[in-house]
């Protein structure tokens, strides 16, 4: 069901991209929109992992550097029948973790030094099993493509705004959408793209929680870890880039109320409730 939902949402992002490209430049605009998205996706596919790891100052470690963390990842990777990913440590007091890489053969998992201090071994195993599920399901690639599409739509929307201001929309319907249509798309398309991207990310988080609980064999440990991480992130917010917030196991960006509608993560209480239900209804 999650995969069907993700496929439909990715289709909606494609429609948005083509529509705003058409509003900006008719058939030629549609073609340019596809080329822009293709180029951005090619770059993201090959280089996004290196960029995000460098962005947070992640340092690759071996088992001798941190036997506890590395050993947990190695055991979980074997249990999940995955190649051993590269393991990275981030020097940050904010407890959090993420996975990156274009496929299971080129994957990496990263965790902050803060998460090592507040989680027990079972809880840390639950968190890393969650991240390895992202690797196994290729969620990283899906999320990267979704974020790239949303970025391309936002970029085209800005172009449409300037084109409308300077009269670029005053052409017939075959070549463009008109000034008012262009402004309408320029305002609404980025909001719609962001909401779709958030929905894709939230859907994949639920799936990774379920997969992580299955790999680790202990849904309650992951539930306890999520509660600890939520409280700690509220006390010690992370200086995270909004473009990479969807990668972390808990949202590193603070905000409540209306901002929860634009969150890349489902509410922690809902995630915890699902994990608690798994512990009652499944045997591990």
Instruction: Verify whether residue 270 is a known catalytic residue.
Output: no
Catalytic residue among 123, 131, 205, 230: 131
C-alpha distances (whole Å) from 127 to each of 89, 195, 224 are: 14, 26, 10
CA angle 107, 113, 119 (to 5 degrees): 95
Strand 107-112: give its sheet, edge to edge: 59-61, 86-90, 107-112, 97-101
Distance CA 143, CA 135 (A): 11
Closest residue by Cα to residue 140 from 71, 51, 70: 51
Give the bridge partners for 137, in sequence order: none
Q: Which residues are catalytic?
A: 131
């Amino acid at each position: 069901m999650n995969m069907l939902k993700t496929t439909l949402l990715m289709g909606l992002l494609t429609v948005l991209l083509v529509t705003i490209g058409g509003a900006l430049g008719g058939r030629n605009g549609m073609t340019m929109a596809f080329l822009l998205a293709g180029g951005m996706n090619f770059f993201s596919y090959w280089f996004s992992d290196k960029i995000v790891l460098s962005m947070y100052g992640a340092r690759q470690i071996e088992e001798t550097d941190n036997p506890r963390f590395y050993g947990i990842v190695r055991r979980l990777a074997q249990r999940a029948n995955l190649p051993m990913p590269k393991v990275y440590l981030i020097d940050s007091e904010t407890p959090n973790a993420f996975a990156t890489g274009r496929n299971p053969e080129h994957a990496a998992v990263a965790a902050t030094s803060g998460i090592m201090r507040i989680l027990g071994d079972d809880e840390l195993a639950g968190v890393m099993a969650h991240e390895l599920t992202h690797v196994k399901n290729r969620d990283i690639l899906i999320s990267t493509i979704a974020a790239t599409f949303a970025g391309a739509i936002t970029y085209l929307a800005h172009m449409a705004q300037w084109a409308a201001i300077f009269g670029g929309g005053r052409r017939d319907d075959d070549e463009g959408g008109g000034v008012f249509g262009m402004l309408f798309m320029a305002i609404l398309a980025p909001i719609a793209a962001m909401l779709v991207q958030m929905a894709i990310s939230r859907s994949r988080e639920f799936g990774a929680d379920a997969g992580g609980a299955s790999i680790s064999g202990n849904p309650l440990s992951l539930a306890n870890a999520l509660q600890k991480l939520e409280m700690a992130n509220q006390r010690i917010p992370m200086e995270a880039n909004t473009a990479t917030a969807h990668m972390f196991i808990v949202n590193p960006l603070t905000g409540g109320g209306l901002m929860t509608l634009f969150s890349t993560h489902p509410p922690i209480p809902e995630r915890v409730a699902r994990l608690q239900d798994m512990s009652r209804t499944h045997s591990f």
